[in-house]
Structure 1
């Protein structure tokens, strides 16, 4: 694996008092760590550089994984002028100026690589403004985003760009960053081996954050190396990447739902913890667990829905953090309950039938007849009162005359639904006997 940052930064181009992350920036693409699937000889970027021709691209990945660095090095590798803007600080006027400058350079034979950081922050109309300049080759666009491009970027812009996914940096890549930082500073970090591992873990895949933490440690005069507990007391953890209204939110709630569906209580509890410790609204998670109790458990365990609603009441009563234990209990109950989506499928099928059949009248035998006229036209005639039968079951027909009986609900042979299935089979036998008789 290559090193993420240059082993020997050029002192002429980087100030000695610059932040550590800047002093350790790669000087060549093959010095980038953790993204070999893109920058290596067989990667998309490696192949484009070898051919000397870039296409527009969107670099999608977590913070601190090298998006800005890769864009700058790409321009140098193929001889393009580098221009950069941030969608956070730029507007239409800034874009017009960038495009005008790029056109001037085209006239002199110099093409421009335009790097747009946080490109998803531009609205749809602003994103459309890039299209003519990308199409006519005025700029080669390299956009960077931490958000899923399929949700945040125009389809027209995506169709003209390759989406390249950067990985969060693993422990080996982050360890190499610390090696380079120590080599540059001429001494080791004041950490025990376990504390060094803990420092890597706190970075959560973000190389920039790790180097900022390392820079703090280098600046402190410590009498002896820190152990993990002392390190934790000195430095803060990086907050987990989690936006309540973006992809991280939907990914984790999907993972929680599927872990519960897969009857894995340990993984379910992990994803629940990921969301709640990141600041997710507890009642949002509870609403999804309540839905799960109906959709994926149903009558296989009717207590599941009751447990979830009890957890909601407990959380309303206790609040956070005490009430979150009730949410964990509901999550564990659902994950360990027998599963059935029979009620879910039955609802969807019945709703479709209701839409398709319109306003069919129920059969007259099950209609009330409060007036003489209604009795005369057959309302309630020959209705079989179920409680008058030994089995407590009449076997009457309850379907509209113009409609054949349908089967929406088919219980599975798990949990309480296995007993329901036995009852339904017994009633089917009684109906058959009534027809034969």
Structure 2
């Protein structure tokens, strides 16, 4: 399992190569990258270590943020024996052996920090099995989970362990990690500045993923640094090309689609008829014209999609040839409808933003807090109920913290979108007013 690191170790050329993560394993908590909010002097773990009073813990956070590393180093800094098990591979007989060995260790004057990876995988009865050994001091339990402890761990276990919330690593943390890796490797990675940023983005806050990417990149023999696009080609497997015979099939559906988009009902009906005459499945055409309504008309005419679905349903009931006329009605309607790809464009931009921002959490004020733990860490705090606000609009920010508010949807001055544009502009002005007051 990869560890997070921040220590300038010197490579040893006399030993067989080891995985980069193992070579860069931190030796102290001060070397761990990220998680300053819990490891710092003001953080819960920092305070525990300063007081020499470590309690059982549940480390909750996404993959690759240092849960195993932190547990291992907590044991080292408190002189506890470190024992690691995984809930996936450990059964009741194994646990009994672990507890017995910890009891013997305790009799000899040494405590045991038992690290349980993926502790949420244990059922409720297995979780209860830890309780007596925690209470009598046989073990100090540190569980790691990527799942919400409120739902995955039982109340008895949670009452005896403090939940520590770990955060995904920031781009700055990952860049710092990259620099340490380069120092260990003894050379810079063969990447341009943009490619380097892209590699960090691919890691998506996961230190383990970043180290795997770095090892791949470091193994390449290159004459010059890779660009962003070249890196993407090497690190991302391309989808297999879908090969289907019948070039005319694609040519004609393209002609139909573009005729509809170009508001030419005669041409659209011609290509529609050509496809039917060629033996095209009318259900394929029903599916494609519905897509045209969504992609090229959108909210400029909200009825268009419904007309396509009604035509599709009519065809399913009547079959050929009678039902084909219903599809022809839909084709002509689409060709004459006002056109807008504003939602299509907005959707693509939103998907791109979702990929770029990775797994950023929603702001805490719009998260539900059905449990005490979630309330204690700020879920739902500060949420403004819009129905109680003036004009039924609070103007709160619903994007992740630190993300600049984007504009994806810009309605056009066509068809019904004229009305939607008025609404968008109205709320934009109201939002400015709320934030300035």
TM-score normalised to structure 1 length? 0.54
C-alpha change, 1:413 and 1:54, in structure 2 (3 Å) is closer
Structure 1 residue 236: Cα displacement: 2.9
1:5 lines up with 2:17 in the alignment: no
Take 2:126 and 2:49, find their aligned partners in 1: how far apart are those partners?
A: 29
The answer to whether the 8 Å contact 2:4/2:208 transfers is no
Take 1:63 and 1:153, find their aligned partners in 2: how far apart are those partners?
A: 18
2:32 alignment partner in structure 1: 32
Structure 1 residue 137: Cα displacement: 0.8
C-alpha change, 1:413 and 1:39, in structure 2 (3 Å) is closer
1:117 alignment partner in structure 2: 117
1:211 alignment partner in structure 2: 211
2:41 alignment partner in structure 1: 41
Where has structure 1 moved over 6 Å in runs of 4 or more? 306-317
The answer to whether the 8 Å contact 2:4/2:65 transfers is no
C-alpha change, 1:94 and 1:235, in structure 2 (3 Å) is same
When the two chains are superposed, the root-mean-square deviation of aligned CA atoms in Å is: 3.5
Take 1:174 and 1:159, find their aligned partners in 2: how far apart are those partners?
A: 34
Structure 1 residue 32: Cα displacement: 1.1
The answer to whether the 8 Å contact 1:127/1:153 transfers is yes
C-alpha change, 1:51 and 1:182, in structure 2 (3 Å) is same
C-alpha change, 1:140 and 1:187, in structure 2 (3 Å) is same
The answer to whether the 8 Å contact 1:62/1:168 transfers is yes
C-alpha change, 1:188 and 1:123, in structure 2 (3 Å) is same
2:82 alignment partner in structure 1: 82
Provide Cα deviations, 1:219-249, integer angstroms capped at 9, x if missing partner.
1101111000000000139xxxxxxxxxxxx
Take 1:106 and 1:40, find their aligned partners in 2: how far apart are those partners?
A: 30
Take 1:160 and 1:30, find their aligned partners in 2: how far apart are those partners?
A: 27
Structure 1 residue 17: Cα displacement: 1.7
Structure 1 residue 308: Cα displacement: 9.1
Q: How many residues align?
A: 259
Structure 1 gaps, min length 5: 238-300, 318-325, 333-411, 415-437
C-alpha change, 1:224 and 1:63, in structure 2 (3 Å) is same
1:68 lines up with 2:68 in the alignment: yes
1:133 alignment partner in structure 2: 133
The answer to whether the 8 Å contact 2:113/2:142 transfers is yes
Within-5 A mapping of 1:353-372:
none
Provide Cα deviations, 1:326-382, integer angstroms capped at 9, x if missing partner.
9x77x98xxxxxxxxxxxxxxxxxxxxxxxxxxxxxxxxxxxxxxxxxxxxxxxxxx
1:171 lines up with 2:143 in the alignment: no
Provide Cα deviations, 1:12-32, integer angstroms capped at 9, x if missing partner.
9x9652211111121100111
Take 2:313 and 2:173, find their aligned partners in 1: how far apart are those partners?
A: 44
The higher relative CO (CA closer than 8 Å, separation ≥ 6) is in 2
Within-5 A mapping of 1:242-391:
none
Provide Cα deviations, 1:56-81, integer angstroms capped at 9, x if missing partner.
00000000000000000000001111
Query: 1:232 is paired with a residue of what secondary structure?
Result: helix
1:192 alignment partner in structure 2: 192
1:182 lines up with 2:150 in the alignment: no
The answer to whether the 8 Å contact 2:114/2:141 transfers is yes
2:226 alignment partner in structure 1: 226
Take 1:172 and 1:308, find their aligned partners in 2: how far apart are those partners?
A: 46
Take 2:212 and 2:180, find their aligned partners in 1: how far apart are those partners?
A: 13
Take 2:146 and 2:155, find their aligned partners in 1: how far apart are those partners?
A: 17
Structure 2 gaps, min length 5: 238-298, 315-340, 348-390, 394-437
C-alpha change, 1:54 and 1:10, in structure 2 (3 Å) is farther
1:162 alignment partner in structure 2: 162
Query: 1:226 is paired with a residue of what secondary structure?
Result: coil
The answer to whether the 8 Å contact 2:11/2:184 transfers is no
The answer to whether the 8 Å contact 1:6/1:27 transfers is no
TM-score normalised to structure 2 length? 0.54
1:150 lines up with 2:150 in the alignment: yes
The answer to whether the 8 Å contact 1:65/1:166 transfers is yes
Take 1:213 and 1:76, find their aligned partners in 2: how far apart are those partners?
A: 29
Find the structure with the greater CA-based Rg. 1
Take 2:5 and 2:148, find their aligned partners in 1: how far apart are those partners?
A: 27
Take 1:315 and 1:110, find their aligned partners in 2: how far apart are those partners?
A: 74
The answer to whether the 8 Å contact 1:4/1:176 transfers is no
Take 2:21 and 2:311, find their aligned partners in 1: how far apart are those partners?
A: 47
